[in-house]
Each structure stands twice: as structure tokens, then as C-alpha cells.
Structure 1
Amino acid sequence: MTRTVRLAGYLLLWSYAAVALAPMLVMLLNSLRPNADVLSVPLGLPSTLDFTNYETAWTEASFSTYVWNSVLVTAGAVALDVGVALPASYALGRFGFRGRAVLTAYFLAGLMLPVRLGILPTFHLLGSMNLIDSRLGLILVYAAGGIPFSVFVMTAFFRGLPADLDEAARLDGAGELRIFARIMVPLVKPAIATVVVFRFVPLWNDFFYPLVLLRSSDRYTLPVGLTQFFGEFQTNWAALFAGLVITTVPLIVLFVVATRQIVEGLTAGLGR
């Protein structure tokens, strides 16, 4: 019975994987075909590998600029997010002090309120700081919006670590900063990886904030750049598929590299 259930689970998961990956396979194959072949036979196989579509997307459609902007904004926002949330999570998870419950509730409130409802005051705030049409302004907005989630995830990990670790380190003469950097942070790497992935993906794909806060095309991120790309190359479907592949590849690489850490992060609490 157990073997049958396991086999059925494998079949279900592989079936879901096949359905989920089929559109990506079609996208990849069509990006390697001439545009005339794509228009005549949309689901065909490439007779020869045609990489000119990627050259068109990368140079003529300014995808090199869009990719750089997306990498800069997303990586900067995630790094700032984690850099702020780590010490805050450590303090909330490892120390007992007056007001801790209030601070925890304050961060949790950030998860309950949709951040896009505050787009008007955010726009005025950035305008007063001369950060409209600025990648720095976009980084700050993204980082601030992700801190509640990051604190929520990493605080739970810090609380789950044995208290003996702190005490032993203090008896050996280690200061709080050294305990945090040398002992605690390495132990919560699965939590950090989970936060990085779960923050990187929505920021990489976000269309709303770049559309509202950016004005210059040379500062556009990939989602907004894609809209211009669709307008200019709407008859060149092969180049469009190449642009979509360029947009998707970084996310696939991130998931492949961080899969082990993600699984450890999502299942770390099951054995406790």
C-alpha cells in the first residue's frame, strides 16, 4: 500500500512538472527558430539553431539595459532587506526585553497591509527626496516592503536555535557582535536562502512600482521593458520568445543553485 501511494505521488508530481514545464519548453524552442517558421508552425521544432533572435532582443530591444537595471534593483533591494532584517530578527528571537511583543506585532502588521495601498504617500515621499525616476528610490521601496516578511521568517529560526549556544559563547568571552556574526548567522543560512528566493522572484517580476516610479527608458526593469518590447516587435514572435527566455533564465538559475537551502529552510521546523 505504501509503495502504491508513493508511486502515485511520483506520477502526480512528474505530471504536474511536465504540464508546468511545457510552456517554457515551447518558449525556448521558438526562441531558436526563424520568425517565419514560428508564424507558420507555432509548435514546431527548430530545423537549425538560430541565435539571431537573442542578438536582436539583447541589442536592438535594449534588453542588456533592462537586465542590468533588474539585477541592480533586485539584488540591491534583497541585500538591504536581509541586512536590516537579520539583526532585527536576532534581537527579537534571542533576547527578552520590554516591548518585544509590540515590536513583533508591528512587523507582523506589515504582512497584513497591502503595500500598494500606500502608493500615493510613497510617491510623494520619494518626490520630496528627489528619488522619482531613480533606481535607488525603487530599491528603498522594495527593501522596506520586504522587511516584515524577512523578519517574520528569520525570527522563527533564531528562536528555534538552542539557548546553550549563546551561553557557551559568552563563557568563552565572545561579545554579542561576534556571537551574531560567527555563530548565529551561519546557522540560519537556510532561512536567509528562503528569504532571498521568496523576495527575489516577486521583485524580479514586479511591474507596478517600476511603471509608477520610473520615467526614463534607460532605467526600466525587465517587466516594464517587456511592454515596450511587445509594442516594437509585436510581429517578430521569435525575438519576443528570446526576450522571455532572457527574463526567465535568472530565476531558473536561482532556484537551481538555492534548491537545497530552500528545502532546508521550508522543512527546518518539522523536526522540532
Structure 2
Amino acid sequence: MSRSPSILMRTIGAHVALGGYTLIALFPVAVIVINAFKSRAAIFSEPLTPPTAKSFSLIGFETISARGDFVSYFINSATVTGVSLALILSFGAMAAFALSEYRFRGNGLIALYVALGIMIPIRLGTVAILQLMVSAGLVNNLLALILVYTAQGLPLSVFILTEFMRQISADLKDAGRIDGLSEYKIFFMLVLPLVRPALATVAVFTMIPIWNDLWFPLILAPAEQTKTITLGAQVFIGQFVTDWNAVLAALTLAIVPILILYLLFSRQLVRGLTAGAVK
């Protein structure tokens, strides 16, 4: 069946609007990247102009390679983010399956308790978290960041995945049980493949705050060997003088993993965001 002209025009308009929003969102990123390859004078005199043969400079990248161990910072950020995401998605998916599949006393209270984790910022408990990590001997340890970020991301993960899992047909799961599948096989073989868009959505929206966070690395892991790339970039920001070439170069390197993740999961991300919006 062919689409009516009105539906076609609305579809074209939606794509045009989405393209416009994408350009607006990418504009600050583009400004950071093009200025990372320019001299300091060109950054302030022509901030919106791409680098030319006269203004092109790699001084920022040379500075961060000489003054900071950014390979180590990058590895720390990748380790913390990767392990945290794995724990958030695995534990969040299992908790969401339990809340959506089984009816038991306290089910609603547990769901409400998880929802409170979204509404109450974890940073309000910074002092208590710091005291806990000091008592456990985890200060200047990447494990402290992993535990905090896992606790921070689990409420949103459980909330989103629970709603998606409730939409999965109960007949499909009952058919699996009749065929002799255990609850574990139903979870891993039937449910998880059907909620991949939701998993990608949770991964993207969870990764960005973890990767870009400055607060908890500054509080819990400020040592040189445990610095993340965001905290490492602060070395070049001073009270009176800021090395903008180095700061922009560091931010450019920090953007790369976010772009790679978006390219890998963009289709699943869009499906997760629009699921149920169009019938």
C-alpha cells in the first residue's frame, strides 16, 4: 500500500528536522575538533574557521603527550566505563526480568525503590561514599569508580529494561517453558535478543555520563596512576593561564569513543528510543 501525500510529507519533514537537530548538536563538537588542530592565535582570532596551512598546528597533541600520560588516562577511562557498563547491563537486565516476569510480595515496592534511584542524585551521598571507600581502602583505586558508576546506572537500566520486557509476549515464554527451557535459557535465548534496542539505549545513555564525569574521579581517584581522561585534561586548566591547545586536543581524543559507540549502536539506539511510538 502506497503512503498518502500527507504521511509522506510528514515523514520527509521529520527527517529534515532530525537532520537539523543533529547539525545543531554536532556544531560544538566540530568547533572543538577544528580548533584542536590550530595555533593558539588562530583559536581566538578565527574560532569557526577550519585550519589552514598557516594556522594548522599539532602543538596541543604534542603538549599532552609530553606533560601527561594520556595513554594511561585513556586506558583508565576505558576500563572504568567498560566494566561499569557490563555490570550495569547484566545486573540491570536480570533485575528487570525478575520484576517484569514474576509476581511476588514487595514487587511494587522494589520497583518504587529502584525508581527513587533515578530521582535522587548519587552525588548527594558523596561524603558518605568517600568515607565508605576510605574505610574499604579503595581510594585511588579504579574499583571505587566502578562500584559508584554501577550503582549510579542500575536504576535507569532496571527502569527502562523492565518496561521493554513487559512488552514481550508471555505466550513466547510459556512456549519455551513447555519445550523444557529453564528460566536462564528463556532469559538469555528468548528475552535478551528481543530487548537489544533497549540494551543499546541504556548503554549509550549510561556511558556518556561515566566517560565525561569529573566529580567522582576527582574525589575518589585523583592519583596520577588512576586519573581518567576527563580529569587528566584539567592539568592544562590553571587559575590564571589555560593551555587551550592542550585542552582542546584532550577533549578531541575524549570524543572519539563516544562517536565510535554511536556509530556502532545508532540503529539499535533509534529503535530503542522510538519503540512503541508508531503503530
Give your verdict on TM over 0.5.
Answer: yes
Q: Which AA in structure 2 matches 1:32? A: F
Deviates more, 1:207-216 or 1:44-53: 44-53
Q: What is the aligned residue count?
A: 272
Q: Separation in 2 of the partners of 1:240 and 1:259?
A: 28
Give 2:203's aligned residue.
196
Select 2:22's aligned residue among 17, 20, 38: 17
Q: Separation in 2 of the partners of 1:121 and 1:85?
A: 24
Give a deviation string over 1:141-186, Cα, whole Å, max 9, x none: 1101111111000011111100011111111111111111111111
Task: Please state if 1:102 is matched with 2:109.
Answer: yes
Contact 1:32 1:51 in 2 (8 A): yes
Correspondence list, 1:76-115, <5 A? 76-115=83-122
Shift of 1:19: 3.4
Select 2:31's aligned residue among 26, 33, 39: 26
Deviates more, 1:202-211 or 1:2-11: 2-11
Give a deviation string over 1:204-263, Cα, whole Å, max 9, x none: 111111111123122111221111122399564333322111011111221121111111
Q: CA RMSD in A?
A: 2.5
Query: CA 1:16 to 1:163, structure 2 compared with 1: closer, same or farther past 3 Å?
Result: closer
Correspondence list, 1:138-177, <5 A? 138-177=145-184
Q: Separation in 1 of the partners of 2:261 and 2:114?
A: 27
Correspondence list, 1:66-85, <5 A? 66-85=73-92
What percent identity do the matched residue pairs reach? 37
What runs of 5+ residues in structure 1 fail to find an aligned partner?
Answer: none
Q: Separation in 1 of the partners of 2:229 and 2:241?
A: 17
Query: CA 1:45 to 1:109, structure 2 compared with 1: closer, same or farther past 3 Å?
Result: closer
What runs of 5+ residues in structure 2 fail to find an aligned partner?
Answer: none
Deviates more, 1:97-106 or 1:235-244: 235-244
Give 1:226's aligned residue.
233
Query: CA 1:103 to 1:23, structure 2 compared with 1: closer, same or farther past 3 Å?
Result: closer
- TM score, norm. by length of structure 1: 0.89
Shift of 1:17: 3.4
Deviates more, 1:75-84 or 1:197-206: 75-84
Q: Separation in 1 of the partners of 2:9 and 2:92?
A: 45
- TM score, norm. by length of structure 2: 0.87
Q: Separation in 1 of the partners of 2:188 and 2:19?
A: 41
